[in-house]
RNA sequence: CGCCUAACUGCUU
């Protein structure tokens, strides 16, 4: 069962739904009953193909078979609503249709949906809503909101979220957080602030450095670009 | 030990 489900998950991620369904049939032929993970993976595959209504049907089908959804299953559906830009329905689903409490991933999915829809201000509010509902904001949540704010050119507010993140217990920025924030600062032309992050505690990766160096060059600040490159080398990055 | 969420890059284009 695990082997089949693992393969089905793989096909779903590769957007090879036909192959996934083939395997599902072969499972039944082998007298194996799909479990909640199998169903969740298939629903994820359907959602990624923008087939939310089929995913919802499958949810009904699994319940009919006395196979009960978990928070993973519900999160998959939530993400399906968000992909379809049906954010109000996503929210309604979370509040009314789930028979288990949402977790931090549930909120992260909705927050990402709001950000993608250019509604990052509401996303910021939802961080507090999550906290009220005992889902402590994590690094993914903060990074998502920071990215959303940056894309809407609200870079100052993004920096404020970063500061807030530092106050949060059990949550510290990682390389993705920094590359997100630094990309936002670069796009806003705030090169000096971007550079401060590098010189402080930030964990940069190659992509972050490359973007920063490139932005300095475009701003005709070759001297500083050069310094960053040296900095990069001295931190042990291999430069081609 | 198998399923859900974040930046960049690449693939699907």
Q: Which of residues 17-56 of A touch strand B (CB under 7 A)?
A: 35-38, 40-41, 44
Distance from residue A199's CA to nucleotide B5's C1', rounded to whole Å: 30
3-state SS string for chain A: CHHHHHHHHHHHHCCCHHHHHHHHHHHHHCCCCCCHHHHHHHHHHHHHCCCHHHHHHHHHHHHHCCCCCCHHHHHHHHHHHHHCCCHHHHHHHHHHHCCCCCCHHHHHHHHHHHHHCCCHHHHHHHHHHHHHCCCCCCHHHHHHHHHHHHHCCCHHHHHHHHHHHHHCCCCCCCHHHHHHHHHHHHHCCCHHHHHHHHHCCCCCCHHHHHHHHHHHHHCCCHHHHHHHHHHHHHCCCCCC
Residue with CA nearest B11 C1'?
A14
Q: Measuring from the CA of residue A147 to each C1' atom, give the nucleotide at the shortest distance.
A: B7
Picking from A143, A187, A134, the residue whose alpha carbon sits closest to that of residue A164 is A143
Residue with CA nearest B3 C1'?
A37
Measured between alpha carbons, how far is A68 from A63 in angstroms, rounded to an integer? 6
Residue A201 has a pLDDT of 62
Measured between alpha carbons, how far is A191 from A220 in angstroms, rounded to an integer? 12
The CA-atom distances, in angstroms, between A106 and each of A45, A74, A92, A95, A150 are 18, 8, 12, 11, 22
Chain B nucleotides covered by protein, CB below 7 Å: 1-9, 12
pLDDT band at A206 (very low <50, low <70, confident <90, very high): confident
Measured between alpha carbons, how far is A59 from A207 in angstroms, rounded to an integer? 40
Q: Measuring from the CA of residue A73 to each C1' atom, give the nucleotide at the shortest distance.
A: B4
Could you report the per-residue pLDDT of A109-155, keeping only the tens digit for each?
A: 999 999 999 999 999 999 999 999 999 999 999 999 999 999 999 99
Q: Does the CB of A215 sit below 7 A from strand B?
A: no
Q: Does the complex come out with an ipTM higher than 0.90?
A: no
Q: Does the CB of A226 sit below 7 A from strand B?
A: no
Q: Measuring from the CA of residue A140 to each C1' atom, give the nucleotide at the shortest distance.
A: B6
Could you report the per-residue pLDDT of A19-59, keeping only the tens digit for each?
A: 999 999 999 899 999 999 999 999 999 999 999 999 999 99
Could you report the per-residue pLDDT of A73-105, keeping only the tens digit for each?
A: 999 999 999 999 999 999 999 999 999 999 999
Q: Does the CB of A211 sit below 7 A from strand B?
A: yes
Distance from residue A161's CA to nucleotide B3's C1', rounded to whole Å: 31
Task: Calculate ∠ Cα A51-A56-A58, nearest 5°.
Answer: 95
Distance from residue A25's CA to nucleotide B12's C1', rounded to whole Å: 26
Q: Measuring from the CA of residue A36 to each C1' atom, give the nucleotide at the shortest distance.
A: B3
Residue with CA nearest B1 C1'?
A2
């Amino acid at each position: 069962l695990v082997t089949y489900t693992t393969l089905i998950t793989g096909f779903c991620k590769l957007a090879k739904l036909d192959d996934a369904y083939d395997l599902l049939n072969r499972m039944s032929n082998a007298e194996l009953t799909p479990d909640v993970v199998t169903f969740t993976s298939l629903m994820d595959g359907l959602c990624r193909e923008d087939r939310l209504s089929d995913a919802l049907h499958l949810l009904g089908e699994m319940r009919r078979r006395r196979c009960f959804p978990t928070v993973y299953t519900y999160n998959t559906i939530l993400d399906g609503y968000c992909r379809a830009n049906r954010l109000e329905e996503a929210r309604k689903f979370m509040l009314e249709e789930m028979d288990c409490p949402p977790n931090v991933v549930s909120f992260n999915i909705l927050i990402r949906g709001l950000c993608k829809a250019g509604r990052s201000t509401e996303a910021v509010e939802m961080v507090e809503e999550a906290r009220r509902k005992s889902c402590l904001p994590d690094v993914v949540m903060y990074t998502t909101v920071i990215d959303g704010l940056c894309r809407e050119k609200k870079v100052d507010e993004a920096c404020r979220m970063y500061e807030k993140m530092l106050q949060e217990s059990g949550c510290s920025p990682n390389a993705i957080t920094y590359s997100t924030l630094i990309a936002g600062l670069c796009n806003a032309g705030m090169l000096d602030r971007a550079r401060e992050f590098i010189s402080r505690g930030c964990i940069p990766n190659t992509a972050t450095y490359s973007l920063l160096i490139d932005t300095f060059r475009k701003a005709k600040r070759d001297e500083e670009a050069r310094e960053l490159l040296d900095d990069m080398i001295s931190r042990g990055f291999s430069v081609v």
